[in-house]
Structure 1
């Protein structure tokens, strides 16, 4: 008979921290990212006790964990100071600005989306590390307020249309260039035939 999974003990010690809008920028993905950042500051065995709900971090521990609860609460309190300055990672900026991965890559490459540096992390359970760009929260907030994304999308449409026109023009030039040798050959043959006709009129072929 399969053993039943033990039900988690009810939380007796509970603490909550409301996150400022300046930190979350209205993003559930960003809120979860802050929660994961706080979990990383806690001892491994205590991380599961920290959870998140819209705009709020919740620490809940069962009876008998008074000391761990106090230490974890103090750690979270300390690390939440200045949390609005925590660098924004790729999946967070995409959610905050409602942009696609390709838009993020394109705007980062051409400089419209300024990078605040890079961050390297080790993938969970793997030896491989990945490096990615991070972004300054205040810069991202200004972009959001100014709706820069709509402006950039219009620019991209104009650029794409111009690129299509240039590509079509290049294809046309290539076709014309390719057709030139055969036309030149025809002109040469015609000139030779005209020369023979002139010789014949002058009686030089008799």
Structure 2
């Protein structure tokens, strides 16, 4: 429940982020806070702070107009905070996965994308685009232990590939031996390789000239 305090010296309001919104992830909590701060005008950004799971807005009593505007902006953002798309670093922390796993499972479709987002890096002209993820889908992955299943599947595929290398090498060697044996057999059956009876007589009579 948001709390408002006005003691004549400072205006204060606090919002507590639910575990449904944060997934118990400190990275997700910080990401939500940064999203809330981005909704404020530059002059009010520093007035918003994060204390654990509490988002705190504190401003001097003399800035009541700015405080009310900032409070309205945060309230509006908080209304849909549980549906805020999850960004890459957040999903890695929530699911306990590495960047390589995220890329692999995203590429093969096991980790569904909810679309892409483009942002401009602070102080730079460069923009980056990345995939975001639906919180409901991420919750489902957690509930059914999908990550553990995917890791088992990947380990099995990797083991099969390792076993396949020597097997293919063995097949190659076997095929080569078969080809060599066949070649030797063909050479043995060639007339030139078979001793000819009466060769000397043919040669003496000049029949091969």
TM-score category by the smaller chain? Answer: 0.7 to 0.9
Aligned equivalents of 2:170 and 2:97: distance in 1?
36
Q: Which has the higher contact order (CA 8 A, sep 6+)?
A: 1
Q: Which residue of the partner structure matches residue 3 of structure 2?
A: none
Matches within 5 A, 1:144-155: 144-155=142-153
| Mapped pair 1:166 → 2:164 | yes
Structure 1's unaligned 5+ residue stretches are: 1-10
Q: TM-score, normalised by structure 1?
A: 0.83
Q: Which residue of the partner structure matches residue 99 of structure 1?
A: 97
Q: Say which of 110, 117, 127 aligns to 2:125.
A: 127
Aligned equivalents of 1:192 and 1:22: distance in 2?
82
Aligned equivalents of 1:61 and 1:179: distance in 2?
85
Greater Cα offset, 17-26 or 58-67: 58-67
Matches within 5 A, 1:43-82: 43-82=41-80
Number of equivalent positions: 193
Q: TM-score, normalised by structure 2?
A: 0.82
Contact 2:187 2:193 in 1 (8 A): no
Aligned equivalents of 2:112 and 2:169: distance in 1?
35
Q: Secondary structure at the match of 2:24?
A: coil
Q: Which residue of the partner structure matches residue 198 of structure 2?
A: 203
Tell which structure's C-alpha radius of gyration is larger.
Answer: 2
Q: Which residue of the partner structure matches residue 204 of structure 2?
A: none
Q: Which residue of the partner structure matches residue 138 of structure 1?
A: 136
- The Cα RMSD (Å) is 2.3
